[in-house]
Amino acid sequence: MNCHVIAIGYGNELRSDDGIGQRVAKALHLSNMKSIAVHQLTPELAEALANSDLAVFIDACLMSESSQVQVEPILPASGNYITAHTAEPRSLLALTQAIYGYCPPAWWIKVPGVNFELGYTLSPIAETGIAIAIQKITQIISRQ
């Protein structure tokens, strides 16, 4: 791996499977990678994105949306900037592009979860998804 990668895992760790993104970010220990675990995506992350060669966003999704870990390349949202203090990955990339004139190629990893109630425990589906997400992130980075 010859590039600077930023992995941003986000979600609410106090709501069980919603904390999947943060758990993945905390479990990533790859060289030349900056891994950030946050509650939500905020405009302050734009500077770190602008200084990266590749970005990976990790979040939970409802299992009803997909039963598999989803991996999709994403581009900045056209004309859709952050309108509050929180954002979704495409809006954050658009903000980064607007401010710094550059945003890195990016991937969005969505890991299915089933339990979004108050609590710290992950469901078995989320635990399996975390392992798969780490494997998929490693594959994306190795191709760079």
What is the C-alpha separation between 114 and 141, in angstroms, rounded?
28
Q: What is the CA radius of gyration of the chain?
A: 14
Q: What is the pLDDT of residues 2-11, one digit of tens each?
A: 459 999 999 9
User: Chain-wide mean pLDDT for the chain?
Assistant: 91
Higher pLDDT, 142 or 3: 142
Residue type, position 67, single letter:
S
Which of 47-51, 56-60, 83-87, 93-97 is predicted with the least confidence, judged by mean pLDDT? 83-87
Q: By residue range, what is the domain housing residue 19?
A: 5-142
CATH number, residue 120 = 3.40.50.1450
User: How much is the pTM?
Assistant: 0.92
Burial call 21-52: b when 16+ CB within 10 Å, e when fewer:
bbbbbeebeeeebebebeeebebebbeebbeb
Most distant CA atoms of the chain, gap in Å = 42
